A and B are shown apart, each in its own frame.
Chain A
């Protein structure tokens, strides 16, 4: 056992060291604290709250708590008994009195189409019900849909406190009322197409950015400062212009009567009646996104290339390597860190890109992010939107994890 080391005033060295360091650590923490609180309250918590919505159905559950409880004993194979229908009657009556039956109608409609009108009509007729007669018959009298067992099954499922069905929808699957999982009818499938297209565009844009950025970055790193600064400004200029302005400029350039088409027509490369379709399709999305994301590839590449001594290439050629061989064996491997950092940056940004595909993409060029926005703003199916967003987040985290495994996050250089 080693002897305890004490300072000259008799205190244990480790204790004394902690005391002395504490003040410094506290100061450091206090300096970082405002940012930490900001991130936690304005970023982390809201994100997790949003993500929670993809499985959360607690509000619906609170509207019809008793119905939901009574329904747990109903197996759903035949029409529900009076215990279920009576409980539902009383809870719906409370809902009508407190005016939240509209919300119930909307939420149930996500489970099965036709619920909106069904609940609304039923709510209006609720005051005519005879509380001593058979409730199921009276429901069926109001609307014949109550005679269809699927509506009762939907009611049971729709009042669960949480569920994962939105994740099935994200990949164009649905859970039947008998519990089996099937793909939705072909003409309704859209999400898988969008996922594949999003990945294709993200990979493609990353690749295009790499091809375009590599020579520019190299030029930037070898030019004398005077010229490289000017070129750097040209590369960074897009950063200083609003994204919306840049995207709109692309619309001016790419549309059928736009600058590019006009030029091609006037030069005679393209006939006036067969102007190129450069917008409202994938081409437009590709061109505009590549231009906008290019700086994110240039900067990491440039920062890595700047550190590569030109004498390495000279050394390689002095040893007999052709310039191409020297590039392939020496220069290119030394830029891996920049390539991977730039690629992950562009890929992650591209996979969630929204404005550009929305404006220049048209129906054929929209991506998953546009679908998320649609569900947030128009269909108001927030659960589905957040389920999609969660899948997107997980996809990005997986890419990040792979990157860390293969390259190591410490090797990332972002300029």
Chain B
């Protein structure tokens, strides 16, 4: 077996503009490894879908080159690229049955009849839709249509499959079970998947690596846990998961620790990630679950807050407090400690380690 290529798909200095005035994708460099599940995550208008469309061949890069399996593909039309694609609205052919939908890419490739049948049976079994061959797309539920769309993108054994927000139209429960299913399909087939979504939960669940897009650029490219635990800038920190922030100015900086004076005048000891010298403005990011209530242990940061709002969430309670002039500081209190008596207006002692508190760009 060949060793897996780390640059199976390669974007090299790719720019894209639709109107000649604004760049939707700016100088994109991105390597996608063979067999990887890579998610392009970002808010709408961040350039993630455009990137996917350029890879599929429906949009042409304005500048730069895209390589697929070592070949430049800018001038190869979509139908010669051999890339499977799952569309946002499934794009099943409404006048063809499930079987005919799946047979379409195989017939185009002139696969002979017995093999077509064999492959379709195998693929339908994989997405657990055996017995649905003769249904028309309109007779299927949303989740079933979704599976057919996935099956159709996989049935001709493409090396690369693109998915453009394929779960967007499903309800929450179905979406979660489909996430696991897609993850398992990817693991069992070893196919390379490039997945576009604006749902961070989806991205964190399924991906090997996530590329966070904003403003036409990749802000951070790393695995799900690094992305959550160690965001490299304030956009990523605020986009992924929940986040409390303070703004302030760096007073003292040493390796692994910086003293930052917040706008309210207190000093926070933080982990300097994107600040280098004193006097710099910084935005400090702190995950709600890293804050301890009534801390006993030795913590660099200890402050007193005042409760503003208590919201019951079933498995946990969210408490909004005022801390160091920030009125939107969120705490997550697990349900196990609900014996804790919380009332609006109460004072609450909070503390956190300097390591969990990341000083990022302003």
Contacts and interface: CB of A to CB of B under 8 A. Distances in A.
B89 A320 contact: no
Contacts of A330: 93
A326 B104 CA distance: 10
B166 to A, nearest CB: 12
Interface stretch (A71-79, A157-165, A308-316): A308-316
Interface residues of A, number: 19
Contacts of B105: 319-321
Contacts of B87: 311, 314-315
B201 interface: no
B124 to A, nearest CB: 16
B83 to A, nearest CB: 6
B93 A320 contact: no
Contacts of A325: 108
B17 to A, nearest CB: 18
B95 A333 contact: yes
Contact of B93 (A312, A317, A323): A312
Contacts of B80: 320
A320 B77 contact: no
A6 interface: no
Interface string B78-102: 1111111101110101110000000
Residue of B80, B108, B152 with most chain A CB atoms under a 10 A cut-off: B108
B330 interface: no
A307 to B, nearest CB: 10
Chain B interface category by residue count: 20 to 34
B113 interface: no
A335 to B, nearest CB: 10
B18 to A, nearest CB: 12
A199 interface: no
A334 to B, nearest CB: 6
Main secondary structure of the interface of A (DSSP, over half): helix
A318 interface: yes
A315 B84 CA distance: 9
B8 interface: no
Interface in A294-314: 309, 311-312, 314
Nearest to A322: B79
B109 interface: yes
Interface string B26-59: 0000000000000000000000000000001110
Contacts of A315: 85, 87, 91, 93, 152
Nearest to B79: A317
Contacts of A319: 79, 84, 104-105, 108, 152-153, 156
A329 interface: yes
A312 B91 contact: yes
Contacts of A329: 104
Nearest to B104: A319
Given A318-B78, A319-B152, A311 B95 contact: no
A329 B87 CA distance: 19
A318 B77 contact: no
A320 B109 contact: yes
A309 B79 contact: no
A410 to B, nearest CB: 15
B79 A321 contact: yes
Contacts of B56: 314, 318
Residue of B82, B95, B109 with most chain A CB atoms under a 10 A cut-off: B95
Contacts of B88: 311
A41 B85 CA distance: 60
A314 B91 contact: yes
Residue of B57, B88, B91 with most chain A CB atoms under a 10 A cut-off: B91
Residue of B77, B82, B83, B87 with most chain A CB atoms under a 10 A cut-off: B87
A115 B56 CA distance: 84
B107 to A, nearest CB: 9
B77 A317 contact: yes
Nearest to A312: B91
Given A319-B105, A320-B108, A314 B93 contact: no
A311 B91 contact: yes
B84 A318 contact: yes
Given A325-B108, A329-B104, A317 B91 contact: no
A345 B283 CA distance: 68
Given A318-B83, A319-B156, A334 B78 contact: no
Contacts of B156: 319-320
Contacts of B85: 314-315, 318
A13 to B, nearest CB: 33
Contacts of A314: 56, 58, 78, 85, 87, 91
A317 B89 contact: no
Given A314-B58, A314-B78, A315-B85, A321 B104 contact: yes
Contact of A323 (B79, B81, B82): B79
Interface in B268-313: none
Nearest to B84: A318
B82 A309 contact: no
Interface in B156-193: 156
Interface in B91-147: 91, 93-95, 104-105, 108-109
Interface of B: 56-58, 77-85, 87-89, 91, 93-95, 104-105, 108-109, 152-153, 156
5 contacts: A311-B91, A315-B85, A315-B91, A318-B84, A320-B108
What are the nearest 6 A-B pairs in CB distance? A319-B105, A315-B91, A311-B91, A318-B85, A317-B79, A320-B108
Given A317-B77, A319-B153, A321-B108, 6 more contacts: A309-B91, A314-B85, A315-B85, A315-B152, A321-B105, A326-B79
